[in-house]
Structure formats: C-alpha cells, structure tokens
Amino acid sequence: LNSLKKCNMLFSVSNSIRSMLISKGISKSKIKIIYNPSPMIQKAQPNLRNKLRISKEKKIILYAGRLSKDKGIHKTIEAISDLDDVVFLIIGKKRDYYSNLKKLIKNLKIEDKVIFLGFIDNSKIGKYFSIADLVTHPCSFYEPLSRMLIEAACYGLPIIASNSGGNSEIVVNNTNGYIVSNKEGLKNKIKKLLNNSKLANIMGNNSTVLVAPKFDPEVIGKSLIKEYINIKKI
C-alpha cells in the first residue's frame, strides 16, 4: 500500500477498484480507469449443438471461468433445476469445487441439464459464446472486472450477475441484463429471459451497442496513450 501511495499514477480496471483504492488512502487524482479491452465479435455458426447433443428447442446458459464456490455456479444450477428446455454449459478446469457441483447435480437429478466442458483454450472459447443465449455470474467474490462478462457483452449476450465488484459496470440493470441479489431473483430473471426471446434479443443488442464499445481495444489504446503523455508531463 505504501508503494502505491508513492506512485504518480495508478491504472484501475474498474470504478469499483478505484473506490477501494481511495478508501485505502490513495489520492483519487492519481487513479485513472482503464478497462481491459475486448474486440467486438461476430458470432460464429459452429455445429456445436449437434456435437454436444443439444436440441434446437433448448436454451443455453454459459459460464466460463474458475470453478469455485465464490463464483456462484451452484446458484445457477439450483435456479434451473425445475426449468424446462435449458442446458447449462460450464467451462473450467475440473478441479477443486467440481466434485461438489457434480454431487449437487446428482442430488437434484438434473444430469441432463448440465454439461461440464473442462478447460478450453481462450482461442477456442468463442464458439461457445456464439451458441449461448445467456450468461450468468451470481458471484459472491469481489470481482474487479469479469473477463467473462466483458466477452459476453462483446458477443451481444444478455447477462445476469450479482452486484459484486465491477459487475455493474458491465451489466446495466434492466438494459442489457439484470443485477440480482439472491437466488430467487436469479431464478426469476433466468426464467424471464429464457421465456421471452424478444426481450433477450433486445438486451443482447444493448450489450453490443451500449456496453461493448467502451471495451474496444482502439478506445482503450487511445486512453492509455493519453495517460502516458500526461505521466511524462508530471
């Protein structure tokens, strides 16, 4: 912390982290927001549904990241337990919390609704975003700025997430998705989006038009150059 206080300028990946740094005694004038970049991405049309044996009638929810309790994956599993025509795709290394999730799925008797895909290289993960209808991230972890949610926005997907860390800087409540505070809210919003394709499409489009542009690499690059010039003037 003392080292940070001696810096002429600090780059924060979100307003959430900026607020936390200020609370630790860092001068707010030293902290600039520079988001992690992600390009706008056109959805591919991979033949994944057939490979994964997912019928066209079923909606797909996606999670991609670390498998741990604080990421809230179990909350989505519980939320879809009595919903019809839905499949939850989970991307992440099958370790740590994986066995707990498997037990939960078995107890709920919804083995046909959840598919663990294991680790997938980032260069190949786009095709899974391309077939998804919705991304959920009801984490309890203080998420600085979720890479998964940024990519979901850049793929034009509606998002449901908890109000943790920088999530609300990607998910604009009632615009490109929902911010939820409990399991009941999560379940209700999942059901609402899965049952209303028009609403889901509108929110997905809002992700593309209103949210994704601020993570454009060109925009981020110009911001970095501007701040670099300012640093040299100090």
Q: What is the pLDDT of residue 232?
A: 67
Averaged pLDDT, 81-110: 95
Nearest CA to 49 out of 132, 155, 153, 124 is that of 132
Mean per-residue pLDDT, 23-35:
90
Residues 183-205 have a mean pLDDT of 97
Task: Give the pLDDT confidence of 53-65 residue by residue, as tens digits.
Answer: 999 999 999 999 9
**pLDDT > 90? residue 43:** no
For 102-113, the pLDDT digits (tens) are 999 999 999 999
What is the average pLDDT across 131-153? 94
- Could you tell me the end-to-end alpha-carbon distance of the chain, in angstroms, rounded to an integer? 21
Question: If pLDDT is split at 50, 70 and 90, which confidence band does 233 have?
Answer: low
Could you tell me the two tokens for 97? 């919390």
Amino acid at 122: N
What is the model's pTM?
Answer: 0.91
In three state form, how does the secondary structure of 62-80 look? EEECCCCHHHCHHHHHHHC
Query: Which pLDDT score is estimated for 208?
Result: 94
Q: For 159-192, write each residue's pLDDT tens digit.
A: 999 999 999 999 999 999 999 999 999 999 999 9
Residue 65 has a pLDDT of: 94
Residue 52 reports pLDDT greater than 70: yes
